[in-house]
Chains A and B, each alone.
Chain A
């Protein structure tokens, strides 16, 4: 079974500063993928970044980067130069590659990020 844990229900950051959103995971799959999604107050789910478990480098997408520490089973999202528009709920998710878990995307509880002006 796969499990994603986000221990920060809420986070606050000043505009233009960097913020790290924590995510730890547990899985028995030898290969897996880790995702981050953003859900603004309008409700849509927006894909941000993906990290494969065998990727050598940490993923980056613009102001988003994923701090992947495989031995610690953590996949923290780093947002640099925060903007007011970054205020949203952020979800960490995992997808396995074997068996029936190979398709399901398992989500964490989410972290509500508020960017202060």
Chain B
């Protein structure tokens, strides 16, 4: 089991550029989550999918953020245009079930710096 795989590990981009973060969940996990971690706001849930369908995107900061899950093995989080305040660590996590005691397995995160 390779775990949750995120790419890239680090991304430095200029303000105004489009950024795409990628995630491959654990095979067989049917829930996928995108979190953002900053010093000021801690860990925030941005969006989650169940069986590839977005269930709750209320945590997405604004229209500049979008997420897709075209199939069970791949998800993207896109920021367009990026701004310096988007600088954070973005985690993807997957879970085998929507409810109860199934914990999340986190990827290693993508550290995004927007200059």
The interface of chain A, by Cβ under 8 A from chain B, is 31, 33, 35, 37, 43-45, 47, 50, 52, 91, 95, 97-98, 100, 102-110
Closest A residue by C-beta to B41: A109
Which of B42, B55, B105, B111: most chain A Cβ within 10 A? B42
Residues of B48-84 whose CB lies within 8 A of A: 48, 50, 55-56
Contact of A44 among B45, B95, B99, B106 (CB under 8 A): B106
A-B pair count, CB < 8 Å, reads: 58
What is the interface of chain B, defined by CB distance below 8 A to chain A? 31, 33, 42-43, 45, 48, 50, 55-56, 89, 91, 93, 95, 98-101, 103-106, 108-109, 111
Measured CB to CB, the nearest residue on chain B to A91 is: B43
By a CB distance below 8 angstroms, the chain B residues around A107 are 42-43
Since A44-B109, A45-B91, A102-B99 are in contact, a sample of 11 more A-B pairs with Cβ atoms closer than 8 Å, ordered by chain A residue number, is: A37-B106, A45-B106, A47-B103, A50-B103, A100-B56, A103-B48, A103-B98, A104-B33, A106-B45, A107-B43, A109-B42
Say whether chain B's binding surface is mostly helix, strand, loop, or mixed.
Answer: strand
User: Residue on B with the closest CB to A96?
Assistant: B99
Query: Are the C-beta atoms of B105 and A103 separated by less than 8 Å?
Result: no
- The CA-CA distance from A86 to B31 in the complex, in Å, is 30
